[in-house]
Amino acid sequence: EILLTQSPGTLSLSPGERATLSCRASQSVSSSYLAWYQQKPGQAPRLLIYGASSRATGVPDRFRGSGSGTDFTLTISRLEPEDFAVYYCQQYRSSAPWTFGQGTKVEIK
């Protein structure tokens, strides 16, 4: 089972600043099978990025996913008020089980 470690646990930033979130896998995630989700309090997660760098439908272009192998990054270029949330990465290599990271909380500084 692939373990995903997200860092930092909490990111304190101001609107307009750049956010850089990290997700590291315990073994290579082949073919960049890595997704990112955003979750706001009391809501279900929302798919942001799949295939490490492809934005899901309706996701603003300030969200950018990158990386390969074991190291992946979600970058939010300029934080909007609605971007303060918890973000999870998920790996989905060809065989189950598929796993999530423990999450990074982006909070208002």
Partner 1 sequence: QVTLRESGPALVKPTQTLTLTCTFSGFSLSNSQMCVSWIRQPPGKALQWLALIDWDDDKYYSTSLKTRLAISKDTSRNQVVLTMTNMDPVDTATYYCARTGGSSGCHTGGNYYFDSWGQGTLVTVSS
Q: Where along the sequence are the contacts to partner 1 (CB under 8 A)?
A: 1, 31, 33, 35, 37, 43-47, 50, 56, 88, 90, 92-94, 96-103
Q: Cα–Cα distance between 55 and 19 in angstroms, integer?
A: 17
Q: Considering the complex, what minimum distance in angstroms separates the CB of residue 62 from partner 1?
A: 20
Strand partners, 11: 106
* Identity of the residue, 17 or 33, whose beta carbon is nearer to partner 1 in the bound complex: 33
The distance of closest approach from Cβ of residue 30 to partner 1 in the complex, given in angstroms and rounded to an integer, is: 9
Coil, helix or strand at residue 66:
strand
Name every residue whose Cβ is closer than 8 Å to that of residue 14 and which is 6 or more positions away in sequence: 79, 108, 109
Find the shortest distance in angstroms from Cβ 59 to partner 1: 11
